[in-house]
Amino acid sequence: MSTTPGVAAVPAAPAPPGRPAGLQHDFQVLFDRLRTRSFSRGGLVATVVQPLLFFAIFYCTFATMLDARGIDFGRFVTPTVLVQALMFVAIGSATDLAADRSSGVFSRLLTSPVDMRAMSLAHLAVVALQGLLSSVAVVLAGHLVGFRFDQGVLAALGFVLFAVAFTVALSLATATIALRLKNLEALSAVLHLPYLPLLVLSTGFVEADLFPGWLQPIVAASPVSGVIDALRALSSAELTWGAVLPGLAWLVGLVALFSWTTTTAFRKVAVR
Amino acid sequence: MTEAISLSDLTKRFGEQTALDRVSLRIPAGTVVGLLGPNGAGKTTLINCLTTLLQPDGGTIEVLGHDPATDPSLVRANIAVTGQFAALDEQINPRENLVFFGRLLGLGKGEAQQRAGEMLERFELGEAAYTPVGYLSGGMRRRLDLAVSLVVPRPVLVLDEPTTGLDPRSRKLLWEMVRAEAARGVAVLLTTQYLEEADQLADRIVVIDKGRVLADGSSDQLKRDVGGLMCRLTLTSAADARAALLALGELPGVSAEGEKVAVPMARPEDVGGVLGLLEGKGLRIADIEVTKPTLDEVFFAFTEPSQAPGTSETSQAPGNSVKGAAR
């Protein structure tokens, strides 16, 4: 009844930790688990196979039509396919987060001596990695149909960096929903709802001035248009700050806004 | 010495509703305390406060001298928790789950691998080591869940209804584990719906309802407090049982069901008086048994005094372990 706790341990058992291990350690362990998931068969289908499949479908449907209008399919549509892939990455990461919430893993983490910042950082780091993976896959596929980086290595790096940052911004938005939503079964429907309008009502497939007059302001002001236009600019010969700036402004604004909403939502779940 | 767990006047409100009302509880090292109460009594709220998932509105909590409000991570480092539902990553296999949580709790990669192997064997999960958790049976999941909680031994173990839905073999294995942990000096707090489980495992039982502690003592103590002894009579027919109920009507707390009549009594020799009364009415007794109340009866006596078959104001002899049982 009065044994000192923890000392009379089973022989092979390691000593009790007694205190937390630290941010870097926690980040590494949490990152490893999520990375294993994202490199699993299911994870790679979502980040690589699915975007390539969509790419092939878009090529078969739009290439001839765009060609007839004098638009280079590879250059015009590759950034669109990429943005769509990044949307799927963001939706997938929120689904994983919701799975951790409903399975109880999230609660177990919250009752473990884990640095809470490590939980968010590991989530975003894996999202960034998945965004990078999708970007490489889509750019390589784009190369087969005429996509090129005209401004050399720096602009290409900027392109990839921009794409990764956009994945993080979107994932912050979807994470907020995954943390806020009470009915997690509705998550998939809620996340897929805005995806199609956002993508179609943008300059992704059709230039803004070809939309009906009343839709043109919406299309021009869309964050997705801004991002796709910036990606196109970063890969084209006519790279100007003016073409990148609206997308960049959206990116900064979205990251700021959704960092705040995610942090608030996380606190609400973690500390009640 | 410092208690492993010490709660004083713990209070938690959800809006108008008071989920925990000045709950005090002490658990020394090496002791298993069973927390009993009907659904909605406040058991899970208490556990959530203790394990840093909820912030209490009043009172103090200490886990090995650490306060969850000021040192949540030190409290977390010392408490292993198994909740009502298996909390496992379903997309990876049992071994990966054990390695992940082992590393998270400070084991090196190699150490965590080795420990995972040991736990798989100890919890009879060796065959399923590489099957994704999503495909495991309910019993296997619960065993793995407990294995994950114990992968790094900690001085406090909290189990929230750990055997709900478990098959008898898994339940037995789990009971053995809990006993082994307590023998090592771990303080165990366990909530359960199964009174037998509390009777088997707990050194002390705490009954709570509507957020208040109603009783705190060993199983024997509580049984004594509730009503001394219970005389169970079986008559030859239900009609006779009703007649017996009338004959014994003056004794407090008598109840009848079918052919059976239950009579609470303070001392074994009171049985003579009961038999005399029945004989006077010409009623024949098929079977008689004098026992302590079961824990079920204790539970009802404290949580629903009006429905408890063996309780009455006079038969209660509240010792210092009973806190306002009669409401």
Lowest mean pLDDT among B68-72, B118-122, B323-327: B323-327
Asked if A13 and B115 come within 8 Å (Cβ–Cβ), the reply is yes
Bridging pattern class, strands B32-36 and B204-209: parallel
A102 — contact with chain B (CB < 8 Å)? Answer: no
Residue A101 lies in a domain: yes
What's the gap in Å between the CA of A195 and the closest CA on chain B? 26
Nearest to A263 by CA among A179, A170, A187: A179
Among the listed ranges B29-43, B150-164, B211-225, which one has the minimum average pLDDT value?
A: B211-225
Q: Which residue of B has its CA nearest to A108?
A: B87
Q: Which residues of A touch B77 (CB under 8 A)?
A: 16-20, 113
**Residue A17 in this model has a pLDDT that exceeds 70:** no
Question: What is the sign of the dihedral through the CA atoms of A155, A160, A166 and A169?
Answer: negative
Rounded Cα distance between B24 and B32, Å, is 16
Spell out a b/e string for B232-243, using b for 16 or more CB atoms within 10 Å of the CB, else e.
Answer: ebebeeeebbeb
d(CA A135, CA A157): 11
- Chain A residue closest in CA terms to B96: A33
Please, what is the average pLDDT of chain B?
85
| Number of CB atoms found within 10 A of residue A245's CB | 14
Selecting from B89, B148, B152 the residue whose C-beta is nearest the C-beta of A17 gives B152
Rounded Cα distance between B21 and B211, Å, is 5
Instruction: Give one word for B129, left, alpha or beta, with left for phi > 0 and alpha for psi -120 to 50.
Output: alpha
In 3D space, the residue among A170, A176, A192 whose CA is nearest the CA of residue A90 turns out to be A170
Q: How many CB atoms lie within 10 A of CB A228?
A: 26
A17/B contact by beta carbon, under 8 A:
yes
Gyration radius of chain A over CA positions: 22
d(CA B149, CA A42): 28
Contact A14 B111 (CB under 8 A): yes
DSSP string, B210-242: TTEEEEEE-HHHHHHHHHBEEEEEEESSHHHHH
A104 closest CB neighbour out of B29, B86, B186: B86
**Alpha carbon A189 to chain centroid, angstroms:** 18
Per-residue pLDDT, B227: 65
pLDDT of residue A272: 63
Neighbours of A183 (CB within 10 A): 8
Angle at B166 between CA B160 and CA B169, to 5 degrees: 120
| Domain residue limits at A266 | 23-270
Tell me, what's the pLDDT at A257? Answer: 97
Whole-model pTM: value is 0.80
Angle in degrees, CA A256, A260, A261, rounded to 5? 120
Taking only the tens place, the pLDDT of each residue in A146-174 is 999 998 999 999 999 999 999 999 999 99
What backbone torsions phi and psi does residue B286 show, to the nearest 5 degrees?
A: -85, -35
Supply the DSSP string of A3-19, one letter for each residue.
PPTTTS--TTSPPP--S
- State the best of B13, B89, B142, B176 to mutate against chain A, taking most chain A CBs within 10 Å: B89
Mind telling me how many Å the CA of B146 is from chain A's nearest CA? 12
- Tokens 């009906």, residue located: A212
How many CB pairs (< 8 A) connect A and B?
140
B89-106 average pLDDT score? 93
Q: End-to-end alpha-carbon separation of chain A, Å?
A: 34
Cβ-based neighbours of B135, under 8 Å, separated by 6 or more: none
A116 → chain B, closest CA residue: B73
Which ipTM was obtained for this model?
0.83
Contact state of A3 with B185 under an 8 Å Cβ cutoff: yes
Condensed to tens digits (0 to 9), the pLDDT of residues A250-259 reads 999 999 999 9
Give the pLDDT confidence score for residue B319 in this predicted structure.
36
φ, ψ of residue A20 to 5 degrees: the values are: -65, 155
H or E stretch including A99? helix A73-103
Assign domain B5-217 to its CATH superfamily: P-loop containing nucleotide triphosphate hydrolases (3.40.50.300)
Instruction: Using the predicted structure, report yes or no on whether residue A44 has a pLDDT greater than 80.
Output: yes
Percent of chain A with pLDDT over 70: 92
pLDDT tens, position by position, B190-206: 998 788 888 889 999 99
Give the Cα separation of A121 and B19 in Å (integer).
35
- The partner residue sitting opposite B54, judged by closest CB among A25, A30, A272, is A272
- Mean pLDDT on A204-217: 91
Q: In a 10 Å sphere around its CB, with 0-12 CB exposed, 13-18 middle and 19+ buried, how is residue A204 labelled?
A: buried
Q: What is the pLDDT of residues A85-119, one digit of tens each?
A: 999 999 999 999 999 999 989 999 999 999 989 99
The one-letter amino acid code at B59 reads G
CB contacts under 8 A, B 114-133 vs A, are 114-115, 118
- From B3's Cα to the closest Cα of chain A, the distance in A is 10
Structure tokens at B55: 């912030």
Would you kindly state where each structural domain of chain B is located, as residue ranges? 5-217, 229-291
Spell out the residues 6+ positions from residue A196 whose beta carbon is closer than 8 angstroms to its own: none
Q: Which of A3, A16, A112 sits opposite B29 (nearest CB)?
A: A3
Beta B229-235 vs B260-265: how paired, if at all?
antiparallel
**Distance of alpha carbon B22 from alpha carbon A187, whole angstroms:** 39
For the cut 50, the answer to whether the pLDDT of residue B7 exceeds it is: yes
Task: Please report residues of B whose CB lies closer than 8 A to that of A32.
Answer: 100, 103
* Number of domains chain A is built from: 1
**A60 in contact with B, Cβ within 8 Å:** no
Q: What is the largest CA-CA distance in chain B?
A: 79
Residues of B in contact with A1 (CB under 8 A): 28-31, 203
3-class SS at B312?
coil
The pLDDT value given to residue B173: 87
Q: According to the 3-state scheme, what is the secondary structure of chain A?
A: CCCCCCCCCCCCCCCCCCCCCCHHHHHHHHHHHHHHHHCCHHHHHHHHHHHHHHHHHHHHHHHHHHHHCCCCHHHHHHHHHHHHHHHHHHHHHHHHHHHHHHHCHHHHHHCCCCCHHHHHHHHHHHHHHHHHHHHHHHHHHHHHCCCCCCCHHHHHHHHHHHHHHHHHHHHHHHHHHHHHCCCHHHHHHHHHCCHHHHHHCCCCCCCHHHCCCCCHHHHHHCHHHHHHHHHHHHHCCCCCHHHHHHHHHHHHHHHHHHHHHHHHHHHHHHCC
User: Chain B closest CA to A124's CA: distance in Å?
Assistant: 18
Tokens at B119, concatenated: 């736990």
Torsion angle defined by CA atoms of residues B9, B15, B19 and B22, in that order, rounded to the nearest 10 degrees: 10
Under an 8 A CB cutoff, do B52 and A111 touch? Answer: yes
Closest listed residue to residue B174, CA positions, set B114, B222, B122, B113 = B122
Residue A1 within a domain:
no
A161: helix, strand or coil: helix
Q: What is the mean pLDDT of residues B287-301?
A: 79
Closest CA to B185 of B218, B148, B155: B155
Residues of chain B with pLDDT > 70, as a percent, come to: 92
Confirm or reject contact between B162 and chain A (CB < 8 A).
Answer: no
User: Distance from B189 to chain A by nearest Cα, in Å?
Assistant: 14
CB within 8 Å: B153 and A113: no
User: Is A60 inside a domain boundary?
Assistant: yes
- Residue range B229-291 forms a domain whose CATH class is alpha beta
3 state DSSP class of B64: coil
Q: From CA A126, how far away is CA A89, in angstroms rounded?
A: 10
What average pLDDT score do residues B205-222 get? 89
Instruction: Write b or e for each residue in B26-42: b if 16 or more Cβ atoms lie within 10 A of its Cβ, otherwise e.
Output: bbbbbbbbbbbbeeebb
Q: DSSP letters along B48-62, please?
A: HHHTTSS--SEEEEE
CB-CB neighbors (< 8 A) of B105 in chain A: 17, 21, 112-113
In a domain, A28, yes or no: yes
How far apart are the C-alpha atoms of A52 and A31, rounded to whole Å?
A: 26
Question: Which residues touch B212 (CB under 8 Å, ≥6 apart)?
Answer: B21, B22, B23, B324
